[in-house]
Structure 1
Amino acid sequence: MNWVIPIIIFFDQLTKKLSETFLLEKNIKIGFFQLTYVENTGIAFGLFKDMALFHGIFSTLIVIFLFILKEKYKEKYKFFTTSFDLGIAFIIGGALGNIIDRIRLGYVVDMIYWPNFSIFNVADIFVTFGGVILLYHFFKRSKYGEKNV
């Protein structure tokens, strides 16, 4: 599933570039959410603002840890699990998309605004879905045993 990572990064960076191009002057309402351009110097929900270097280093360490975990998991269990690999790939792809922003811009571009909830981007969506997939994987593994996952 390593091929998924560059695809996630591509679509994340593409949507960020499109929002920089088309959303600086206006917002676009689509159903119950809207597209808008925001420069986020924090992390999830805008927490810990103006700490780009820390966020970049921390995110990079998480990506390295996930690559190591993935390789150790494959070595230990000697089989390939699609849900585990996909979850890790989603998280790594999303994290790298946001790391690129932090290095390139000093902030992360967010553009999907969900009123009364948050503003986020494509990378954040993949990190979230990757986490959900991993939770599912570990739940199934603990419930049914590792040979069935």
Structure 2
Amino acid sequence: MQAARGASLSDAHTGPESHVHPVRWAEFAAVAVFLLVLDQITKLWAVATLVPGQPQELIGSVLQLNIIRNPGAAFSTGTGFTWFFTTLSIAATIGVLWFARRVRHRGWAIALGILVAGISGNLVDRLTREPGFYVGHVVDFLQLPNWPIFNVADMCINVAAVLIVILSFRGIGLDGSVDGGAKDEVETGSEDEAK
């Protein structure tokens, strides 16, 4: 039985939202895996090379290498709630993976790949590092003046947040569609540039 001429019955039951877009999923996964591996390699290097309490200048006093073990969040907040941050990270990772299934736009695939790399990078620390499973301390080692010490995973989370804000502000949906208001602004901007 055919649902419509030239379309199989299975096509009738599967819309664009019901399956993973293979190209976008591959882009998402490639970004996520690359950045997660980079985060973990840099942390292994920092643990093997840096000595706590002995910062080293990387770019003068602007960027230093200074290793700490952080049980909490940014600015060492919530240090007694490591288990909560672990649980939150697991939920966030699952949420991002769920949204990534619906992505049809390259920008969203990249942004969510960066985001899941950042979340899971610190999650790996909380699950595998001392003092133990689910309460491990995150390895931070990059220090800017008047800013909390951070790592590659933290950078990923911040970059992803900026990209998500830009995509949302432009009205670009996960499927690549552009909402009416944002589309009008984009078209108006394009017409102005053409003049």
Deviation at 1:50, TM superposition (A): 2.8
TM-score, normalised relative to structure 1: 0.87
Q: Which residue of 2 aligns with 1:23?
A: 50
Distance 2:110 2:76 in 1: 27
Does 2:32 align with 1:5? Answer: yes
Q: Which residue of 2 aligns with 1:103?
A: 127
Q: Which residue of 1 aligns with 2:75?
A: 45
Identity %: 26
Q: Which runs of 5+ in 1 are unaligned?
A: 75-79
- For the aligned residue pairs, the C-alpha RMSD in angstroms reads 1.8
Q: Secondary structure at the match of 1:24?
A: coil
1:58 to 88, 92, 95: 88
Choose between structure 1 and 2: higher helix proportion: 1
* Amino acid aligned to 1:57: T
Determine which structure has more spread, i.e. the larger CA radius of gyration.
2
Deviations 1:65-92 (A, max 9, x none): 11112224x3xxxxx2111111111110
**Structure number with higher relative contact order (C-alpha < 8 Å, ≥ 6 residues apart):** 1
Distance 1:96 1:41 in 2: 15
Does 2:133 align with 1:112? Answer: no
Q: How does 1:84-95 map to 2 (within 5 A)?
A: 84-95=108-119
Q: Which runs of 5+ in 2 are unaligned?
A: 1-26, 130-135, 172-178, 187-195
